[in-house]
Structure 1
Amino acid sequence: MTNVLIIGATGTIAQFTREFLEDDPSVQVFPYVRNINKLENQTNAIIGDATDQAQLVSAIKEHHIDLVYSNLGPYNMVQMATSVLNAIQETNVKRIIWMATSGIYDELPESHKERAKEMLGETNDPSSYMGDQRAAADMVAESGLEYTIIRPNWLQNGSEVEEVRITHQDEKLSGGPINRITVGSFIADLIRQPNQYIDDSIAVSTDSDKNY
């Protein structure tokens, strides 16, 4: 059995991920949250702060965690990455799935780059949203862990799991906006088969050419 710690488990995508894993006997999920009242399903829930390294270490050790999925955000990503990565390294966990955002490598289509800069800031400015996301993702990539960074395309709501298009770190983003439930399903599949996309940063989009 794979024991999975979901940090930031009250997020919509994380909750979808957990739902897709509920009936899988090979995976046991431990949600790590600051406010347990935000969880409809409180089974195995752990109350803790993502910036508290000692709390994270205790949770990982007590529940024999094999894989950490971080669904933290959207702000203070460097601060949270520091504590999460230090805790994982201290406990000898090797595998991490890290939620980031599309655009952190300036990989957006040319038609959207300027809009993104105006709304979210420059990727080389650590004080901006995009710069903070980029810096945290770089920390994950340089951690020595077996990592997968997930960069969803423009997120939207919807009830159907869609076909996914993958683009890698050195590729321009392509495909269309993606439902949160689709991202949750994709991550659940990755948790079940964690040998995929190791040491990779992947953008996930719908398999279409519709722009956001």
Structure 2
Amino acid sequence: MSILLVDDHPLLRLGLAAALGQALPDMPLLHAGSGEAALSEAQLQVPALVIMDFDLPGISGLETTRRLRQRLPQLRVLFLSEHCELNVVRQALAAGACGFLSKQVAPAVLIDAVRRILGGHAYIEQSLASALVCQAPSAGERRLQALTPRETEILVMLAKGTAVRVIAERLCISSKTVSNQLTLLKSKLQVSGQAELVHLAIAAGLLRPAA
């Protein structure tokens, strides 16, 4: 298991590596200065998590994320960006990211986000999550209202990062049934990843933003 740091500024990557190295001393850290380099690195050694910059020379962070997720659907991507406009956050989530932080966050917040994401959760910086709630698209809310009580229950557990196996045990159904429900939920809600499920769950008041 490793973490791939993707940023075109070597000093920033070194700073990230120093912070992560102190908190996760046994975690191998890989480096890439461009989207192309990230794609090549991930092909050589599949990381558990990619910490991705939005602005990259050549292939953008968004396009790099899309390509990585197409090749490796289980890959988890955390955006760390100077650009925190809500449309940027939404684009990152739509590309398949499961987390978003501004580059101004304290190291402790970054470490917390990394640990949560490695643990199977999504993580959106609290101020950004709150802003997304305020501007949540009404179409998404209408789609949520169309869910059955069981679908809503599964949505909340998935948005909290609960494993499919655990959900199956709690609801006394098979893991395959939960997986089928997840596919149906994504289709009904018109989302592609867990972070978008989190966004919709927060917007509907079903889940509180990460502190």
Provide TM-score, normalisation by structure 1. 0.47
Structure richer in strand, relative to its length? 1
User: Which structure exhibits the higher relative contact order, with contacts defined as CA atoms closer than 8 Å and separated by 6 or more residues?
Assistant: 1
